[in-house]
Structure 1
Amino acid sequence: MLAQPRHQFNKDFTEAQYQAYLQVIQADFPGALDFRVAESPVFVSTDFLHKMQATCDYIITQVKQPDFLAKTGSAIPKGLRVPGPEGRPHFLIFDFGICEDPNSPGHYIPQLVEMQGFPTLFAYQLKQYQAAAGSYKLPAGFTPFINDLDEQKVKQILADLLKGQENPDNTQPHTVLLELFPEKQKTRIDFLYTEKYFGIPTVCLTEIRKVGNQLFYHRNGKDILIERIYNRLIFDELSNQSAIVKKQAALLMQPLDVSWVTHPNWFYRLSKFTLPLLNDPGIPETRLLSDFNKWPTDLENYVLKPLFSFAGNGVVIDVTSADIEAIAKDQYKNYILQKKVNYAPAIKTPDGPAKAEIRLFYVWPDELDTPIAICNLARLTKGNMVGVSQNKNKTWVGGSFALFGQTSKEKS
């Protein structure tokens, strides 16, 4: 991490600046921000960024292999396989913990924590960057964007990807953002900015209606045809819903005249399920429980994770043999043991050091041969996990972003 901009930011920081920052984020949609925003960006050298990208490039190479679909076919839970052409994963999202280098004390390395073939807070992050730039005096030469992109270029890339190619009649397919009870989701501010920036309305699963192989929703007295779905629906969360919701979800399991961005099956194919198939210095050792003949003797150095969970649900940080024995043997194939990633307290803040992870956003437009990195988010914590429950009544924690600066000889 870069020491000089960190020191200068902390020195210049005022609570009034932070409150102005929050006000700008919330100005368009009061009451929609439902998670804590950290006081500060994370200042990261390009050396560290390139290390993260090297691991991402390795994973992308594996995804592009001809046998990747065959290897990940069993990742999709029974009853949740959505029909239709899967194509490519339009979104590849990689979360890296900032960890101390065991071979070089005082220096940091990235370690992959999670990945997903599923979208993230694209629109909201653009707003957050704007708000920070207008509220703080951020250092020159730093950017949240990657590959020499800027805000306008990223907006155009996302607009083209989310809305699809124009038809012969010079119109784009009608795209909706699909979610379940979007007004109750913590990420709803991103849905609102998605409509503001890209003109894509949010539609609840309960609103859709199937006629033949077509889907419709009702707005302002009209039935509107859905031609393209920007999917934000987590399908395995539907199992806990009412019979009415499950009946609606069953519509999506039938052949439909829609295109997906991205196809729901990629949520499972590119996920924790994939980690045991990979071998890279930036990826902690990961194995399915079903692959063990006996448990490691140092379980305290591992994390137990269910394959099919979201937002950290079901994760056990301090693993014991009792935690594993509580799982039915026929469910071992649905859990992984991952070598523990020890986050370093690398972010100096006025009230004590924070740990952080950085999420790199990759998108894969149809016209490109390989995905491209566009921007990022970061999350700061002073607990054992990155989550609200781990950071209650704490400051300098929550959602943020990394600013990447020139290569530095500082500790990074």
Structure 2
Amino acid sequence: MRGWQRQDGSKGIRNVVVVAYLVECAHHVARAIAERHDGGEVHLIGFPGCYPNDYAQKMMERLCCHPNVGAVLLVSLGCESFARNRLLEVVRDSGRPASLLVIQDKGGTRSTIEQGRDWVNATLPALAAMPTVPITPADLVVGTICGGSDGTSGLTANPAIGRAFDQLIAAGAAGIFEETGELIGCEGHMADRAATPELAAEIIASVDKAARYYTTLGHGSFAVGNADGGLTTQEEKSMGAYAKSGASPIVGLLKPGDQPVGGGLYLLDVVPDGEVRFGFPNISDNAEIVELIACGAHVILFSTGRGSVVGSAISPVIKVCANPETYRRLPDDMDVDAGRILEGRANLDVVGTEIADLVEAVADGTPTCSEALGHQEFILTYKSFTPAGPSCLPASAR
């Protein structure tokens, strides 16, 4: 495997240009810049809100400085409250080429789009000329999520991803699994796998918080589509989602934008801290993919039974299809047919190894189905988190 060395010591498996809008009013201009360019990968991300938010600021800083990002163009309207100059400074300090266009200062829509396209087209050749360096599994951070789950998800794709996680982590990678709201009832099992008693207590507290949060909202992760797909209870869905974590010890608990401090298995808590607030969202697969990427994930393993076609900006998404009938209906969108386990054509170990091997192939440049189809979904909204304490870190990093 080969990738791109970054100034902070990390290595990227892609070398994309990010065009980032800093308020919804700049979205159209940023999209027009990103859609027309002379070759190379250009991805659109952004934050729609006008009011400042510490979570969004941290997320944008982490995303713009992600190992898979080679250069960044920021697009501002000019009167929003986002700390654009701070973000620009953070990106430049990371060693990446970066520029800021303020629409109100650049002559409006047409002029800003023209200047943005010129900057992107001038930057792409420099990224293409960058040398590559060797990458090993120990350089990788791999995230996992499930969406469009059905009765087959916990039997095939999720446990197969768990086997892949165990292999990758044994080779030195960091693995991140998430959505404490989809793990309600599994907190005791996760606590038993925690590397320290302090971490075990933090895991239980994070799931308890998720249960309170979704009780207040009046709905949680168990959706109509899950029931239509054969799932019967929240507990059944939780056990299936839990299977994605494999069997490795859990060494840390992250919040969005936190970075793993080494290899091993981490749980990502995506449920906001504090009371439920207007404008703070319920669960969303696309938003959680973004949060995994903000934690440094190079690749996302996405388990689906009903069928999901989304990908993401910045990091490739590998679709692991749990249901063989879904795989046959949506073959262009699915990377791995885990459903063949149900039909006796493979077992969990075989599919787990296939997934782990595909992670390495994607890290070496093989496009995923969602990449080949041009998927670059992205959602970032308001949230609020208190910083994770030292008990959430691996013992060696405290």
Q: How high is the TM-score relative to the length of structure 1?
A: 0.29
Q: Which protein is richer in helix relative to its size?
A: 2
Larger Rg: 1
Q: How high is the TM-score relative to the length of structure 2?
A: 0.29
